[in-house]
Structure 1
């Protein structure tokens, strides 16, 4: 049971200042997770609560980042049927705990969220994003929790951060090329936020995310001053280049 993992010493040992202790604890956690074909949601939530507070107790920035990367890497060892429930419980845990994160501890969780967006995009990009069911399931998870347009209990700070990171982390995985159909699916929860969120600031943040020039490049659209260069009459026009 995952609840056994939460109470196991190896969870607490993940925050140890001793590298050998941390590595052994991480190996034990990987072994625990990789051997299960399914894990009940309640047990995954208990496990994630343990991992959340494991990171909470880690004070050294370098070790915080190492721990976040290690947690993100857990996705790689999961059986296929466990991946989406595991990710869903990650986001539910972040949403539940977000408002209670102290300012001095906030950066470590901002980094963890980035790592989880990145590792999930990498997971979905396997086989050239051909597992459309997995892409659809993950965007549904995002639409249900961090990018929900209807659940007013989702912390706005979490939503803003996901929107701020979304294209950055997608670019790291997709590079300069992205299939339009896959891109449209991945942007569905952001589009939904833009049109349906009851909060104007959230709608504006979603619009800003969708207006990112990198998305236009992937779609083959013109960016920045390109239209002006082609349409100008050439007299008195100055072009300063594409702005960052």
Structure 2
């Protein structure tokens, strides 16, 4: 096992070096890479080692050149969405942790770019295409829920008190929450809209946005389609 770990660490180091040297990587190559990385985590036993591997996988983002970051993140989300239905209950926790790490490193990337509006909007486009897409039921709802569940936690870790203290961050914050706002209004299922509203109602987020008044629950219309109506005859 020691040898296996040594070989894996050496391979991971080579991967970091390779990725860091690329100014462009095709979508196909990124999807192939992510399928391999997904199953690398799949095979990893023991929670402590799983978490370490997840952090190592997330650290890849910091080695990338800026033009590669968004395509790399998009390939990550596409892979997670595609493989989600195959994740067994006993393996789910390590992927939930990996997703949390990727939300965090995405915010770190935006912070390193000083939260430039065009970069934040590009990140929003990735979110709205995959994990926070509102209508396509091929996107797993469990993925949607988890991203919204960790959204404020990871934003707080990266931005901290500056969200409330720095006036220039207010507009950045309003841009960042747009995918969640969109889900709250346009989510195909009521449960998705409710989850988005719960995210937006987080006391920390409301304080950062200067929403001191108490949140008011709006009446929900019934879904046109249930999430799953059973098997028809």
- TM bin (shorter chain): 0.7 to 0.9
Aligned pair count?
A: 209
Q: Return the match for 1:203 from 193, 203, 220.
A: 193
Report the Cα distance in structure 1 between the residues aligned to 2:55 and 2:89, rounded to whole angstroms: 21
1:72 aligns with 2:62: no
Aligned position for 1:8: none
Alignment partner of 1:132 out of 117, 129, 132: 117
Tell me the TM-score normalised to structure 2 length.
Answer: 0.86
Gaps of 5+ in 1: 1-14, 225-244
> Which residue pairs with 1:214 in the alignment?
204
Unaligned runs of 5+ in 2: 164-168, 215-233
Correspondence for 1:59 among 41, 45, 60: 45
Between the two structures, name the one with larger relative contact order (CA 8 Å, sep ≥ 6): 2
Q: Is the 8 A contact 1:217 1:223 kept in 2?
A: no
Corresponding residue number in structure 2 for 1:229: none
Q: TM-score w.r.t. structure 1 length?
A: 0.82
Give the match's secondary structure for 1:181. Answer: helix
Whole-angstrom distance in 1 between the partners of 2:60 and 2:2: 18
Q: In the alignment, which residue of structure 1 is the partner of 2:133? A: 148
How many Å separate the matches in 1 of 2:192 and 2:158?
Answer: 25
C-alpha RMSD of matched pairs (Å): 1.6
Distance in structure 2 (CA, Å) of the matches to 1:221 and 1:154 = 31
Match of 2:144 in 1: 159
The 5 Å alignment of 1:91-110 reads: 91-110=77-96
State whether residues 121 and 173 of structure 1, in contact with CA within 8 Å, keep that contact through their aligned partners in structure 2: yes
Rounded Cα–Cα distance in structure 2 between residues aligned with 1:16 and 1:110: 27
1:115-156 per-residue CA deviation (whole Å, 9 max, x = no partner) reads: 000011011011531x22111000110011000012111000
